[in-house]
C-alpha cells in the first residue's frame, strides 16, 4: 500500500494572490509531481500542483474536482489530480487519475493527461485521456486519503478568506 500525506511546499515563482507556499501531496515520501515525472518522464508533469487548492478559476471546475477526487463508495471516476500553476484551470496541463473507491482503499488505477475539448462543458474533463505507460496503480488507505482531502479543505478555506481580504483592499 502507498502512503499519501500533505505537506507545505514552496513555489519557485510568486503566485498572483501572494504567498510563496502551498499545500502539496507526498506519495511514499516524494512530492507527487516529481514521483509521477520519474515514472512518466517528458510529459510536463514536473511543476504541476494539486488541483484541490483554491487556485481554480471557476466554481464549476472546483465542484467537479471535489466531487471526483473521492467518488462514492464502490464506484470509480476520472479525476483531475494535478494542474499547471500558470493558468489554474482545465485548459492547461491537467493530470488525471482513474480513481476507484472501495470499502477500505482508494485506488488510482492509472494516470493520464486530459485531452478533452471542454471549452463549453467542463463536465467533459476526462472524457478523452492519453493514458500513460507503464500503467502504474497506486493504492491508498481510505482514512489516510480522506485526511488529505480534509487538510486541503481546511487550507482551501484559509486561502479563500485571504483572497477575499486581498480583493477588499482594492475597494
Q: Is 37 helix (H, G, I), strand (E, B) or coil?
A: helix
How many separate domains does the chain show?
1
Q: What is the pTM of this model?
A: 0.90
Residue 17: pLDDT over 90: no
* pLDDT, tens only, 80-96: 999 988 777 888 889 99
Q: Distance (Å, rounded) from C-alpha 90 to C-alpha 121?
A: 11
Instruction: Give the mean model confidence (pLDDT) for residues 31-45.
Output: 96
Q: Which domain holds residue 99?
A: 4-168
Residue 12: pLDDT over 70: no
Return all residues near 93 (Cβ < 8 A) that are at least 6 apart.
44, 45, 48, 82, 83, 84, 113
Instruction: Give the mean model confidence (pLDDT) for residues 8-30.
Output: 77
Amino acid at each position: 500500500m502507498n502512503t499519501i500525506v500533505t505537506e507545505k511546499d514552496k513555489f519557485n515563482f510568486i503566485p498572483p494572490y501572494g504567498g510563496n507556499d502551498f499545500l502539496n501531496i507526498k506519495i511514499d515520501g516524494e512530492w507527487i509531481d516529481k514521483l509521477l515525472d520519474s515514472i512518466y518522464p517528458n510529459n510536463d508533469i514536473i511543476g504541476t500542483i494539486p488541483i484541490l487548492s483554491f487556485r481554480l478559476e471557476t466554481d464549476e471546475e472546483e465542484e467537479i474536482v471535489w466531487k471526483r477526487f473521492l467518488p462514492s463508495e464502490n464506484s470509480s471516476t476520472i479525476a483531475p489530480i494535478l494542474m499547471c500553476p500558470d493558468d489554474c484551470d482545465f485548459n492547461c496541463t491537467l493530470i488525471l487519475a482513474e480513481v476507484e473507491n472501495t470499502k477500505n482503499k482508494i485506488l488510482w488505477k492509472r494516470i493520464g493527461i486530459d485531452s478533452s475539448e471542454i471549452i463549453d462543458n467542463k463536465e467533459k474533463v476526462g472524457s478523452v485521456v492519453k493514458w500513460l505507460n507503464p500503467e502504474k496503480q497506486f493504492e491508498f488507505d481510505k482514512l489516510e486519503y480522506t485526511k488529505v482531502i480534509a487538510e486541503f479543505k481546511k487550507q482551501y478555506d484559509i486561502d479563500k478568506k485571504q483572497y477575499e481580504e486581498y480583493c477588499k483592499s482594492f475597494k
